Structure 1
Amino acid sequence: MPRPLWAGAISFGLVTIPVKIVSATEDHDVHFHRVHLADMGRVRTRKVCELDGEVVPQDESGKGYEIAKDQTVPVTDEELEKMPLPTAKAIEIAAFVDADTIDAVRISDSHYLAADGQVAAKPYTLLRKALERSSKVAVAKFAWHGRERLGLLRIREGAIVLHSMKWPDEVRDPQGLAPKVVEVGEEEIEQGLQLADRMTIENLSGFRAEYREVLEDIIAAKADGKPLPSPDEGGERKSGEVVDLMAALNASVKAAKESRGEDHGEEATVHEMRPAKRTGGRTAPAKKKTASSKTAAAKKTTARSTLAAKKRAGTKTAAKKRSAS
């Protein structure tokens, strides 16, 4: 289990559920250091006082709020921890709402709530089953990183998930962002719907971070002194270029059919689209990859695995240092 980030309890009426917050996601991005290109030395960010120009040690740095020009009020971490909030060490459920009433724009970070000890097993299971059977989600308040937040509790594969949410006044009004009203024919709308049906998949598990994979290939090639991977040929359409909507839809349908292995040389148009044949409720899979594509993929995987091993070693070293401290 990942290292707990917070320990407290869920307050559910008169029921208390001891829980720990753990990260629900992992960061797999490639992170760069800022370096001096002349000698590859690390470039560090230093905290300097603007009054005396001296570097400020960590133990002399704190929080302050500017209430007027040349007047700042210091606020300590101890004062924040002693704030008279019922949510200081509790995730206080305030209401239950239908899941489809939550605006996705308001959902932010996600964390898992793990039952903290055997005493939490029964009330944890009670809340989980209540949410599952009611098809509702719980709205809660909790304190996190020095401020009170709004949260959303829902169930994912038997575990309670806590989503941080934006407060209602933190969501901007989208009015004025949409284009002016234009006429779109029913035939065009229907064609768009049929294209969407062609592109419908059952889950998102097949998606991968292609940018990160190519970046890892570049780093591995540079580390081994090998030529950099060549960019894909075939330029992209210039941004802002006006295209014929019907022609774009027809081209999109043809591309969708080819990606599913359904194109046998005939011309595809939006007027000819029909739902793909399904077996057992599932769309027939695309053609298998050729042997050459498998070989190329294997070479890329080998290069990335070397980089991934270095990243894992660095992560373990950092973890040991945190444990020792």
Structure 2
Amino acid sequence: MLRVRSIWNGAISFGLVSIPIKLVNATESHSISFRQIHLEDGGRIRYRKVCELEDKEVSGAEIGKGYEDADGTIVPITDEDLAHLPLPTAKTIEIVAFVPADSIDPLQMDAAYYLAAGGAPAAKPYTLLREALKRSNKVAIAKYALRGRERLGMLRVVEDAIAMHGLLWPDEVRAPEGVAPDAKVNINDKELDLADALMDTLGGIDLDELHDEYREALEEVVAAKAAGETPPESPEPAKGGKVLDLMAALEKSVKAAKESRGEEDAEVTHLPARKSARTAPKQTAGKKSTSTAKKTTAKKSTASTSAKKTTAKSTQGARKTASKTTTAKETTAKKTAAKKTTSRKRTA
């Protein structure tokens, strides 16, 4: 049994079966609330309920309900008036239908409650309804009255308990008119493939691992201020750049997601085109590689030929230089021999 104060006592009407129950809140708020204070002296700012006719403060016992008409006239409404409303759901959660769970629009979901069995006599019919909901894979649609108005609810099984989600009436949900972009946008297959890759990389998550980081940071600030210390400075948020290229942004997102998961290969791999309604590109990566290889080989051949020509020219130049040197030496030798012969003749 939940040790939480019930906010409503009544019964579930299941055909001719009546199940006494207690309505208990299924959720709780952990948000930090603040008080309004006077900045000059830190005094609390309080709201007082004052009668505008007598200009005096009144107590809760003196306050009732009233409906303001279009002309400003106040029509008093008493608790007795509300108790005599012709509502069969005043103290009853009346099940009106059983439908598949996916037929309920999540936009209609409101507050959540647990329905606790009201005593030992309620155990048998409570368990019967719970097991019937389990076996049918359906949810129950019910009407009930709470806080002065009739409401719509959905009953479903949560572990071994029956939970009820308050539902908005269909006419309370606005249509999404004017929300979607007016401009015509074309999304190509590569962008969809990258978006799919990003979703696959991010994968799923256990919701129990998520927590309110803002509340934790706020608690640190409150604790530091209470201790007379300087509150910790928060890191500057990353500046969001202007997205100029959607493909580039998707590729970077996939790479960042892989790196955050510690994957060794953080390179973005383009997904192959899907067979359904996807056309293959005119030129494959293999052809591009072959063409590039051919161009590279041609460049190497040209460079080799140029090198050979340069070497041949150098060799010919060297041969000419050597020939000239040899000829010059022979000429010098002949001149020297002639000089020696002339000198001998004169001496004789």
**Alpha-carbon distance between aligned partners in 2 of 1:271 and 1:158, rounded to the nearest angstrom:** 47
- Counterpart secondary structure, 1:251: helix
Aligned to 2:186: 183
- Is 1:204 the counterpart of 2:207 in the alignment? yes
Larger helix share, 1 or 2: 2
> Normalised by the size of structure 1, how large is the TM-score?
0.79
| Shift in Å, 1:47 | 1.7
2:76 is aligned, of 74, 77, 80, to 74
Distance 1:248 1:62, change over 3 A: same
| Shift in Å, 1:203 | 2.6
Question: What residue identity is the alignment partner of 1:246?
Answer: M
**Alpha-carbon distance between aligned partners in 2 of 1:234 and 1:155, rounded to the nearest angstrom:** 42
Distance 1:267 1:117, change over 3 A: closer
The number of residue pairs the alignment matches comes to: 269
- 1:131-142 residue pairs with structure 2 within 5 A? 131-142=133-144
**Alpha-carbon distance between aligned partners in 1 of 2:50 and 2:94, rounded to the nearest angstrom:** 40
Question: What residue identity is the alignment partner of 2:251?
Answer: N
**Alpha-carbon distance between aligned partners in 2 of 1:192 and 1:12, rounded to the nearest angstrom:** 47
After alignment, is 25-34 or 191-200 more displaced? Answer: 191-200
Aligned to 2:123: 121
| Shift in Å, 1:154 | 0.6
- 1:222-301 residue pairs with structure 2 within 5 A? 222-233=225-236, 235-237=238-240, 241-262=242-263, 264=264, 267-269=266-268, 271=270
Distance 1:243 1:77, change over 3 A: farther
Q: Is the 8 A contact 2:108 2:169 kept in 1?
A: yes
2:10 is aligned, of 5, 8, 11, to 8
- 1:167-178 residue pairs with structure 2 within 5 A? 167-178=169-180
Q: Is the 8 A contact 1:10 1:18 kept in 2?
A: yes
Q: Deviations over 1:139-162 (max 9, x none)?
A: 000001010000010111121111
**Alpha-carbon distance between aligned partners in 1 of 2:4 and 2:269, rounded to the nearest angstrom:** 49
Return structure 1 stretches of 4+ with deviation > 3 angstroms.
Answer: none
Aligned to 2:25: 23
Q: Is the 8 A contact 1:141 1:151 kept in 2?
A: yes
Question: What residue identity is the alignment partner of 2:194?
Answer: Q
- Is 1:144 the counterpart of 2:130 in the alignment? no
Aligned to 1:154: 156
**Alpha-carbon distance between aligned partners in 1 of 2:239 and 2:92, rounded to the nearest angstrom:** 51
| Shift in Å, 1:67 | 2.1
| Shift in Å, 1:128 | 0.7
- Percent pairwise identity: 54
Q: Deviations over 1:212-239 (max 9, x none)?
A: 000001001111112211111453316x
Question: What residue identity is the alignment partner of 1:252?
Answer: S
Root-mean-square deviation (Å): 1.7
**Gap runs ≥5 in structure 1:** 274-325
Q: Is the 8 A contact 2:258 2:266 kept in 1?
A: no
Q: Deviations over 1:85-142 (max 9, x none)?
A: 1101110000011100100000000010011111111111111111111111100000
Aligned to 2:305: none
| Shift in Å, 1:43 | 0.6
- Is 1:130 the counterpart of 2:132 in the alignment? yes
| Shift in Å, 1:41 | 1.6
Aligned to 2:46: 44
**Alpha-carbon distance between aligned partners in 2 of 1:251 and 1:68, rounded to the nearest angstrom:** 58
Q: Is the 8 A contact 1:249 1:270 kept in 2?
A: no
Question: What residue identity is the alignment partner of 1:256?
Answer: A
Aligned to 2:224: 221
**Alpha-carbon distance between aligned partners in 2 of 1:270 and 1:207, rounded to the nearest angstrom:** 30
Question: What residue identity is the alignment partner of 2:267?
Answer: A
- Counterpart secondary structure, 2:233: coil
**Alpha-carbon distance between aligned partners in 2 of 1:50 and 1:244, rounded to the nearest angstrom:** 61
After alignment, is 80-89 or 148-157 more displaced? Answer: 80-89
Q: Is the 8 A contact 2:259 2:266 kept in 1?
A: no
Q: Is the 8 A contact 2:194 2:271 kept in 1?
A: no
| Shift in Å, 1:267 | 4.6
Q: Is the 8 A contact 2:49 2:57 kept in 1?
A: yes
**Alpha-carbon distance between aligned partners in 2 of 1:68 and 1:236, rounded to the nearest angstrom:** 50
**Alpha-carbon distance between aligned partners in 2 of 1:188 and 1:50, rounded to the nearest angstrom:** 63
